[in-house]
């Protein structure tokens, strides 16, 4: 799960660098989807990565996460 969270973080960084305003993410991890959508608590080992993801998603005008 950590590797996929890092991949999402890197993808969001790329979108910000390219000034992409509408982001649509897909994941096959229901756990990660629920953590990103703030439905579940963040495991301690993912706290830093998830805080960065939440901050980046908060800066997007439109963002969606699909499972």
Output the CA–CA distances (angstroms, integers) from residue 59 to 3, 30, 31, 52, in the order listed: 23, 23, 23, 11
CB atoms within 10 A of CB 19: 6
pLDDT in tens, the chain (67 residues): 999 999 999 999 999 899 888 888 889 999 999 999 899 999 999 999 999 999 988 865 445 666 5
What distance in Å separates the CA atoms of residue 57 and residue 30, rounded to the nearest whole number? Answer: 18
> Rounded to an integer, what is the distance from CA 27 to the centroid of its chain?
10
> For the whole model, what pTM was predicted?
0.83
The distance between the two most distant Cα atoms of the chain, rounded to a whole number of Å, is 31
């Amino acid at each position: 799960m950590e590797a996929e969270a890092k991949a999402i973080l890197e993808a969001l960084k790329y979108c910000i660098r390219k000034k992409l305003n509408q982001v649509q993410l897909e994941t096959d991890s229901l756990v990660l989807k629920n953590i990103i959508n703030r439905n579940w608590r963040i495991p301690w080992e993912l706290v830093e990565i998830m805080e960065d993801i939440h901050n980046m998603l908060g800066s997007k005008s439109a963002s969606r996460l699909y499972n």
